[in-house]
Amino acid sequence: MTIAPLPVMPEAPPEPGRLRRQLQEFSRSPGAVTGLAVLIIIIVLAVFASVISPQDPYDLTQLDILDGRLPPGSESFSGLVYHLGTDSQGRDILSGILYGLRTSLTVGILSAFAAAIIGTTVGLIAAYIGGRTENALMRLVDLQLSFPTILMALMMLAILGKGVLNVVIALIIAEWATYARTVRATALVEREKEYIEAARSFRLPGWRILFRHLLPNCLAPVIVIATMQVARAIGLEATLSFLGLGASVTEPSLGMLISNGYQYLLTGLYWISFFPGIALLVTIVSINLVGDRLRDVLNPRNT
Amino acid sequence: MRDLTPPLIEARGISRRFGSKPDLAAKIALRLGLAKPQPIVHAIDNVSLSIRRGEVVGLVGESGCGKSTLGRVIAGIIPPSEGQVIWQGRDRESLNPKERHAAALATQMIFQNPMAALNPRMSIEDIVSEAPRTHGLVPKGGRQDYVDRYLRLAGFDPTMKGRYPHQFSGGQRQRVNIARALAVQPDFLVCDESVAALDVSIQAQVINLFMELRERLDLTYLFVSHDLGVVEHISDRVAIMYLGRIVEEAPVEEVFLRSNHPYTQALLAEVPRIELTKRRFKAVEGELPSPLNPPNGCHFHPRCPFAMDRCRIEVPLKREVAPGHLSACHLNDQPTV
Amino acid sequence: MSALLEVRNLATEFGAKLGLRAVNDVSFRLERGKVLGLVGESGSGKSVTGFSIMGLLDRPGRVVDGQILFDGTDLATLSDAEMRRLRGKRIAMVFQDPMMTLNPVLTVGTQMIEAVRAHDPVSKDVARQRSRDALGLVGIPSPDERLSAYPHEFSGGMRQRVAIAIALLHHPDLIIADEPTTALDVTIQSQIISEFQKLAEQSNTAVIWITHDLAIVSRLADDIAVMYAGRLVETGSVEEVLGDPRHPYTRGLIMSVPSQNHRGEPLRQIPGMTPAINRLPPGCSFRTRCEQATDACAAMPDLMSEGSRAFRCFHPVARIDA
Ligand SMILES: Nc1ncnc2c1ncn2[C@@H]1O[C@H](COP(=O)(O)OP(=O)(O)OP(=O)(O)O)[C@@H](O)[C@H]1O
Ligand SMILES: Nc1ncnc2c1ncn2[C@@H]1O[C@H](COP(=O)(O)OP(=O)(O)OP(=O)(O)O)[C@@H](O)[C@H]1O
Ligand code: SF4
Ligand code: SF4
Ligand SMILES: [Mg+2]
Ligand SMILES: [Mg+2]
């Protein structure tokens, strides 16, 4: 079964691949590149916190109450230099920050990721199935979004109790709806495109159309929101910890550290809160820089 | 004569409306006079059309007259609001699941925009092999051969099957669409403006491909187009649509030599042909009416030079004006004009 | 007789480093009251030629070579301000998408009155009067009321007529129409072309009609210029070029039009596809698709004249046989 060969051009138009184009596009913003560089450093620091840190701030045996509240640059009896000072329990602030970054990033990434999965699935299903299911799901989303996130998280923690894991759960519950709404909106547009119609007319199974065809084409906004949500979640976790509802005292998340030093701020022991605060700020700003640029680059009108 | 073959597919009294049913909140708002009723688009209105095996039927009409909607209903992509689609003599709704599945696969559609019809995140190979693999048409271990065969059939170089749709030109993408449709071994293709987006010189290539495939694979086509030149070239029979209704239906020579309906005549006056002398363009008067509130009676009456009182009230029915030539115009009821 | 517009060896490039030549060595002349059909495939440089004449090239694009003599002045050397004074007054453009001319948030009347007063210091009432007349002229019913409507209240065909009315406001000497009817229906298309034909004839306006539709050009134009990959490959009167094409590409285009073929037979087709502008073969750009190509074609042929016509080919085809 062959047909007189039709002329075919051996060469494709020399367009660079989408990914390469997007990378080029991304690197055109100095802010975003800086943000990304800083973020990578922060992530490396956080991952290797236990190797890099001069001290293990979780290990109470390493702490000496006599070293409490030392200013930056002080030296301990054991010869350890506290570059950023210590807190009231004699915990090295630098180590605290490194471990704190680890906790904060874990909370942020874990909650953003899980919320993205749940929200995306809900949004996709709502858009694809439509009708009653869509109405019911979207009412739920509306309800969820009408609560301020922080209130939602506070309520959840009041029920679940303190602890890092519970913070993650609270954040997932507070944030999934954002994804659901955005993904549904994108999927509604994509669903009308002819490749979805084609997939239907080929009688492909529903799950296949959903996950093979619809999902990959709705991912761009998810990536953008997820990036921004990591920053938001880190901020929220810090707020919750600051309010005394997040991580327990023995798990030094950044919010926890800030909260610990807050009472000393006015007495001149600025470093206990100040340095963790800076770390938090730098993390959130650099994530947002990257996220902003991703939003521009992944904008469907550019692709 | 072809006329003796039974229809492969037949649309009977198909209507299709668009517009959402009001939900509870909207109903309350309507009651209280806070909202206007949602407009209903009558995209197609009581259309019947039958297509015999091996035939190419051209469907022509102006933008928005419902060509794509009719094509989609016939292809089974959207359900009709009213009416039936008969597949090989049986109502498609009455088929059992297995038969319905087979009927659905046997009818495929080639879309106007070749890029939009391809998933941008899948390679050509995946695009072409997905459906046949899902439906077990590909022999074990024969996937590469299978894909290559259908790509070659559509005039697409199989060595490039690892690439993605955006790396190809419009004509090549349309070939991929054609290969994908052929790969499920259909009997009937609905081509919705399948060459409209292509360049003139590429258009000819793809039209030739369609005609060659018809011979080789014994395909039947519904060829939707607004380009009368293309339709004249490839169709056996032509149906002319105006605002949701088929107004004339006849073998292609009949339509182009002895058109009956005033709208067809107006349309044909403008068939694009290359002429070597400058000539004044004549125009059908008036704007296209909106399908949101189509005119009463004959839809064409606001623009028709022969409109009578009757045309404003009564919908003309299709009647045979010559063997195989149907037209819906009240003029045919007049004794002689 | 001196031409109204004479384009000489126009070259337009995009891209700072790459020097992407979208238009290369394009020359033609156009007299008052004549219609030139500029035809060619998508991406062949038709619009860029039009934009170059209008001085409306998008940022990376610029005219790098050649002259655009309009009534004796070289438009390529004019400043932006001087160009703005000409544009809309003596040269006007109609785009494929009328919304490129129309602002969606202003009424049609406001925009037309502004357009009148941009070049003529007349009172608002006079400007309104003229706008109304212009709308009436292009066949828009009840123009008085239509002046206070917004563009979205018009159908596509009516919007395009408004855009044409705006282009005609100052009775320009030259109108460049870039596929103004491609997006429209057959019947609406003939309405617009017929208005255009009438108006251009009445006011002795020269028109460049850009399209890929040979059938339209054959009925509308006096002269025709065929572009391929940024270059003119054939020019001449409609009768000469369409009746007796000399360039293999022109011939291929004409012969692939369905109405030039017998029903039931395959269409005669041009093999292959248009190469991307930065991937042209050295020598004649049509070489990869040309049946007549020989080794000689590895060099770029010049535009060779033969009486009033010209073509860019070493082996011109003889009289068409069909
Ligand atoms: N999904 C939809 N929802 C609402 N209205 C629709 C939908 N699809 C089509 N319509 C309307 O139905 C009418 C017929 O549309 P259709 O696409 O069938 O026209 P067409 O003849 O194919 O036109 P074209 O030549 O522009 O493709 C139009 O008025 C259109 O706006
Ligand atoms: N702003 C731009 N930047 C870069 N390249 C451009 C730009 N505008 C046009 N080009 C290139 O110039 C070439 C000619 O384009 P042009 O728009 O003139 O084609 P055309 O003949 O009008 O085609 P069509 O029929 O599709 O309108 C194309 O290869 C195009 O990619
Ligand atoms: S029925 Fe009347 S209005 Fe309609 S086409 Fe015939 S003559 Fe014209
Ligand atoms: S110059 Fe040669 S390749 Fe180019 S069109 Fe003429 S014959 Fe063909
Ligand atoms: Mg359509
Ligand atoms: Mg153009």
Interval A116-145: pLDDT, tens:
999 999 999 999 888 888 889 999 999 888
DSSP three-state, residue B223: strand
- Residue C273: its chain A contacts at CB < 8 A? 9
d(CA A219, CA C66): 48
For residue A10, what pLDDT band results from cuts at 50, 70 and 90?
Answer: very low
Atom of ligand 3 nearest to the CA of B304: 8
pTM: 0.82
pLDDT at position B187: 94
Q: How far is C198 from chain B (nearest CA, A)?
A: 9
Please tell me which of C8-22, C190-204, C306-320 the model is most confident about, judged by mean pLDDT. C306-320
Residue C276 to residue A13, Cβ atoms within 8 A:
yes
d(CA C201, CA C298): 44
d(CA A242, CA A255): 5
The answer to whether the CB of A210 falls within 8 A of the CB of A183 is: no
For A49-58, B171-180, C203-212, which range has the lowest pLDDT when averaged over its residues? Answer: A49-58
C267 interface with A at CB cutoff 8 Å = no
pLDDT at position B85: 95
Q: Which residues line ligand 1 (CB under 6 A)?
A: B 18, 41, 43, 61, 63-69, 226, 291
pLDDT at position C252: 92
The answer to whether the CB of B156 falls within 8 A of the CB of B213 is: no
d(CA B14, CA B93): 13
Count chain A–chain B contacts defined by CB atoms under 8 A. Answer: 98
Q: How far is C252 from chain A (nearest CA, A)?
A: 15
For residue A1, what pLDDT band results from cuts at 50, 70 and 90?
Answer: very low
C154 has a pLDDT exceeding 70:
yes
State the amino acid at position C293 in one-letter form: A
A273 has a pLDDT exceeding 90:
no
Judge if the beta carbon of residue B306 lies within 6 A of ligand 3.
Answer: yes
pLDDT at position A16: 53
pLDDT at position A3: 39
Residue B109 to residue A197, Cβ atoms within 8 A:
yes
* A69, burial (CB in 10 Å: exposed 0-12, middle 13-18, buried 19+): middle
Taking CA–CA distances from C288, the nearest residue in chain A reads A9
Taking CA atoms only, the protein residue closest to ligand 4 atom 5 is C313
The phi, psi pair for C120, rounded to 5°, reads -120, 125
**B257 domain residue, yes or no:** yes
The strand pair at B220-224 and C223-228 is best described as unpaired
C216 has a pLDDT exceeding 60:
yes
Interval A156-205: pLDDT, tens:
888 888 888 888 898 898 889 999 999 999 999 888 888 999 998 899 99
Closest Cβ–Cβ partner in C41, C213, C268 for B272: C213
Range of the domain at B254: 7-18+39-333
| A29-41 b/e (C-beta count within 10 Å ≥ 16 → b) | beebeebbebbee
State the amino acid at position C174 in one-letter form: L
* Residue that has been written with the tokens 């690197």 in this structure: A27
**B246 domain residue, yes or no:** yes
State the amino acid at position A7 in one-letter form: P
B140 interface with C at CB cutoff 8 Å = no
d(CA B38, CA B34): 12
What is the total count of domains within chain B? 1
Ion ligand 5 residues within 5 Å by Cβ: B 68
Atom of ligand 4 nearest to the CA of C284: 4
For residue C161, what pLDDT band results from cuts at 50, 70 and 90?
Answer: confident
C43: left (phi over 0), alpha (psi -120 to 50) or beta: left
Judge if the beta carbon of residue B301 lies within 6 A of ligand 3.
Answer: yes
Enter the tokens of residue B20.
């959402």
Report the residue of A3, A6, A8, A9 to disrupt the C interface, i.e. the one with the largest count of C CBs within 10 Å: A9
Distance from Cα C306 to the centre of ligand 1, integer Å: 50
Degrees to nearest 5, angle at CA B15 with B10 and B21: 140
The phi, psi pair for B273, rounded to 5°, reads -130, 150
For A92-96, A140-144, C18-22, C103-107, which range has the lowest pLDDT when averaged over its residues? Answer: C18-22
Q: How many CA atoms lie within 13 A of B169 on its CB side?
A: 22
C128 has a pLDDT exceeding 70:
yes
d(CA B215, CA B234): 12
Taking CA atoms only, the protein residue closest to ligand 1 atom 18 is B66
What is the pLDDT of chain C when averaged over all its residues?
Answer: 88
DSSP state of B289: P
Degrees to nearest 5, angle at CA B219 with B218 and B222: 150
- Residue C190: its chain B contacts at CB < 8 A? 270, 281-284
Q: Which residues line ligand 4 (CB under 6 A)?
A: C 248, 284, 286-287, 290, 292-293, 297, 301, 313-315
Closest Cβ–Cβ partner in C41, C158, C259 for B201: C41
Interval C48-81: pLDDT, tens:
999 999 998 877 788 999 999 999 899 999 988 9
pLDDT at position B22: 63
DSSP state of B333: G
**B29 domain residue, yes or no:** no
For residue A274, what pLDDT band results from cuts at 50, 70 and 90?
Answer: confident
Residue C212 to residue B199, Cβ atoms within 8 A:
yes
pLDDT at position B294: 84
pLDDT at position B188: 96
The phi, psi pair for B40, rounded to 5°, reads -105, 125
Q: The domain at C1-79+210-260+267-322 falls in which architecture?
A: 3-Layer(aba) Sandwich (3.40)
The residue-averaged pLDDT of A222-234 equals 89
State the amino acid at position C6 in one-letter form: E
Question: CB neighbours of A79 closer than 8 A, spacing ≥ 6?
Answer: none
Question: Could you tell me the CATH number of the domain that includes residue B247?
Answer: 3.40.50.300
Taking CA–CA distances from A11, the nearest residue in chain C reads C275
A11 has a pLDDT exceeding 50:
no
Per domain, the residue ranges of chain C are: 1-79+210-260+267-322
* A293, burial (CB in 10 Å: exposed 0-12, middle 13-18, buried 19+): buried
A17 has a pLDDT exceeding 70:
no
For residue A41, what pLDDT band results from cuts at 50, 70 and 90?
Answer: very high
Taking CA–CA distances from B157, the nearest residue in chain A reads A8
The strand pair at B325-327 and B245-251 is best described as antiparallel
DSSP three-state, residue C32: coil
pLDDT at position A144: 87
Which pLDDT tens digits describe chain B residue by residue (337 residues)? Answer: 445 677 999 999 999 998 766 666 777 777 777 766 667 888 899 999 999 999 999 999 888 889 999 999 999 999 999 999 999 999 999 999 999 999 999 999 999 888 889 998 899 999 999 999 999 898 888 899 999 999 998 988 888 888 888 888 888 899 999 999 999 999 999 999 888 888 888 889 999 999 999 999 999 999 999 888 899 999 999 999 999 999 999 999 999 999 999 999 988 887 777 777 777 776 667 777 777 788 889 999 998 999 999 999 999 999 999 999 999 999 988 655 4
Q: How far is B94 from chain C (nearest CA, A)?
A: 37
DSSP state of A245: S
pLDDT at position C313: 94
Closest CA to C300 of C223, C251, C229, C225: C229
d(CA A25, CA A292): 13
A5 interface with B at CB cutoff 8 Å = yes
* Residue that has been written with the tokens 């009534």 in this structure: C71
Question: CB neighbours of C80 closer than 8 A, spacing ≥ 6?
Answer: C55
pLDDT at position A147: 85
- Sign of the CA dihedral with B156 first, then B160, B162, and B168 last: negative
d(CA B301, CA B289): 10
DSSP three-state, residue C305: strand
Q: List the alpha helices (DSSP H) in B35-188.
A: 67-75, 97-106, 124-134, 143-153, 170-182
**B2 domain residue, yes or no:** no
d(CA C9, CA C267): 35
Enter the tokens of residue C284.
């004649």
Taking CA–CA distances from C191, the nearest residue in chain B reads B283
The answer to whether the CB of A194 falls within 8 A of the CB of B119 is: no
Report the residue of B174, B201, B209 to disrupt the C interface, i.e. the one with the largest count of C CBs within 10 Å: B201
Q: List the alpha helices (DSSP H) in chain C.
A: 46-54, 80-86, 108-119, 124-137, 143-146, 156-168, 186-202, 214-220, 238-243, 248-256
Taking CA atoms only, the protein residue closest to ligand 4 atom 1 is C313
Question: CB neighbours of A159 closer than 8 A, spacing ≥ 6?
Answer: none
Taking CA–CA distances from A10, the nearest residue in chain C reads C272
State the amino acid at position A177 in one-letter form: A
